């Protein structure tokens, strides 16, 4: 198998693109896909300051690496959720990677520790409020990402969600006809009101396998194990199903997700209508000031319940 571009020995085959690449041409392919995503979805401009949420996993560390190599100004945020050995290892990976990029580019890592801020890690917090850990975790991460981006005046917040993540999420939203979530499923969500950071997913054109190959080929040291709380989750099931379809017909994931984005763009002038909807329904949280549709935001409600709650 030879590289489609330079005809030297290929290191990876990409059936959905009917192509194979050597390391140099594969790196160029990956950066081109990210550059296309940034431009096509108007994610950010060269002078913007970007905050990348890094989990210590392959996607977010690869994203940070790619953005810096593309010449963007990107710092990162790691949120320590307090999930025992998993958090300890992922934190170490994020810190080690930050040390290498900090030396070669001007980039820094911010770290937030949930246990220090709220007195307990997410497993204990979830138990106190009787909610599944992953759902409490989602609320905490969204809140922490937004608060850090706003507090440190970043123009945009970027996460490492890839094509597999987005296609699996779309499948879940379609299976349950979650129309409200479908409206908001976009690789680029504008900062619709003051207090909400713009949120982007520059890896949405790359599959999980492609991002993993990028990380390995470029010697990015990441945490391989999945979060122990994710075992048996619906998202993993949807990913498995999509992978089976992809093996039978390469290109299925991309056709599914990118087809949805095209239809969505035709159906709604997304940014404008969403900003109007948000502006009409949002006001500052009475406790923390972040925008919310209720008197108190879901994060502050959760922390208030955790203070008075007891584990079942």
For ligand FES, the closer of residues 18 and 135 by Cβ is: 135
Q: Which of 177, 58, 124, 74 is nearest to 307 (CA)?
A: 124
Which residue is closest to ligand AMP by CB?
Answer: 160
**Considering only residues 204-263, where is the footprint of ligand FES by CB under 6 A?**
227, 229-230
Q: Rule CB under 5 A: which residues touch Zn ion?
A: 285, 287-288, 297, 300
- Confirm or reject binding of residue 87 to ligand FES (CB under 6 A): no
Q: Is 62 in the site for ligand AMP (CB under 6 A)?
A: no
- Element at 275 (helix H, strand E): helix 270-281
Determine which residue in the list 79, 107, 148, 157 makes contact with ligand AMP, applying CB under 6 A: 79
When asked if residue 133 is in the footprint of ligand FES (CB under 6 A), the reply is: yes
Q: Count of residues binding ligand FES (CB under 6 A)?
A: 7
d(CA 276, CA 182): 17
Question: Which range of residues in 11-19, 102-110, 160-168, 290-298 is near ligand AMP by CB under 6 A?
Answer: 160-168
How crowded is the C-beta side of 249, counted as CA atoms within 13 Å? 8
Q: Give dist(CA 280, CA 165) in Å, integer.
A: 30
CA 16 to chain centre: 23
Q: From the DSSP assignment, how many helices (H) and strands (E) are in the chain? A: 13, 10
Those residues whose C-beta lies under 8 Å from the C-beta of residue 248, and which sit 6 or more positions away, are none
Binding mask 17-56 for ligand AMP (x = CB under 6 A): ------------------------------------xxx-
Q: How far is the CB of 58 from ligand FES (least distance, A)?
A: 14
Comparing CB distances to ligand AMP, the nearer of 169 and 285 is 169
**Partner whose binding site includes residue 229, from ligand AMP, Zn ion, ligand FES, none (CB under 5 to 8 Å by kind):** ligand FES
Q: Does 170 bind ligand AMP (CB under 6 A)?
A: no
8 Å CB contact between 138 and 235: no
Kindly state the smallest distance separating residue 85's Cβ from ligand FES, in Å: 13
- Interface residue with ligand FES among 74, 137, 189, 302 (CB under 6 A) is 137
The packing angle between helices 252-267 and 234-248, to 10°, is: 110
Residue 59 touching ligand AMP (CB under 6 A): yes
Residue 119 CB, nearest approach to Zn ion (Å): 17
Distance CA 185, CA 291 (A): 19
Size of the site for ligand AMP (CB under 6 A): 14
Phi, psi of 190 (to 5 degrees): -65, 160
160 binds ligand AMP (CB under 6 A): yes
Least CB distance to ligand FES at residue 215 (A): 18
Query: Three-state DSSP class for 179?
Result: helix
CA torsion angle 204 206 212 214 (round to 10): -120
Give the nearer residue to ligand AMP in terms of CB position, either 20 or 212.
212
> For the residues of 86-139, what is the DSSP string, one character each?
HHHHHHHHHHHHHHHHHHHSS--EEEEEHHHHHSS-HHHHHHHTT--HHHHHHH
Binding-site ranges for ligand FES (CB under 6 A): 81, 133-134, 137, 227, 229-230
Binding-site ranges for ligand AMP (CB under 6 A): 53-55, 59-60, 77-79, 81, 141, 159-161, 165
């Amino acid at each position: 198998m030879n590289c489609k571009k330079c005809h030297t020995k290929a290191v990876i085959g990409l059936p959905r693109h009917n192509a194979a690449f050597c390391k140099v041409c594969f790196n160029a392919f990956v950066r081109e896909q990210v550059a296309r995503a940034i431009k096509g979805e108007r994610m950010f401009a060269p002078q913007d300051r970007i905050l990348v949420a890094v989990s210590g996993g392959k996607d977010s560390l690869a994203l940070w690496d790619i953005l810096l190599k593309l010449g963007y100004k990107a710092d990162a945020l790691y949120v320590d959720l307090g999930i025992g050995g998993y958090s300890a290892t992922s934190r170490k990976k994020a810190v080690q990677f930050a040390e290498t990029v900090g030396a070669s580019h001007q980039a820094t890592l911010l770290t937030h520790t949930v246990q220090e801020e709220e007195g307990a890690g997410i497993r204990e917090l979830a138990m106190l409020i009787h909610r599944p850990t992953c759902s409490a975790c989602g609320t905490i991460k969204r809140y922490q990402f937004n608060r850090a981006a706003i507090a440190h005046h970043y123009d945009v917040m970027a996460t490492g969600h890839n094509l597999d993540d987005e296609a699996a999420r779309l499948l879940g939203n379609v299976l349950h006809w979650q129309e409200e979530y479908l409206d908001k499923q976009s690789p680029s969500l504008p900062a619709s009101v003051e207090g909400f950071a713009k949120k982007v997913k520059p890896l949405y054109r790359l599959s999980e396998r492609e991002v993993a190959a990028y990380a390995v080929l470029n010697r990015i040291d990441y945490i391989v194990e999945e979060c122990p709380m994710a075992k048996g989750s619906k998202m993993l099931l949807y990913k498995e199903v999509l992978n089976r379809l992809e093996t039978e017909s390469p290109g299925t994931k991309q056709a599914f997700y990118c087809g949805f984005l095209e239809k969505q763009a035709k159906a709604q002038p997304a940014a404008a209508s969403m900003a109007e909807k948000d502006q009409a329904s949002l006001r500052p949280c009475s406790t923390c000031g972040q925008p919310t549709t209720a008197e108190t935001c879901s994060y502050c409600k959760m922390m208030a319940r955790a203070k008075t709650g007891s584990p079942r």
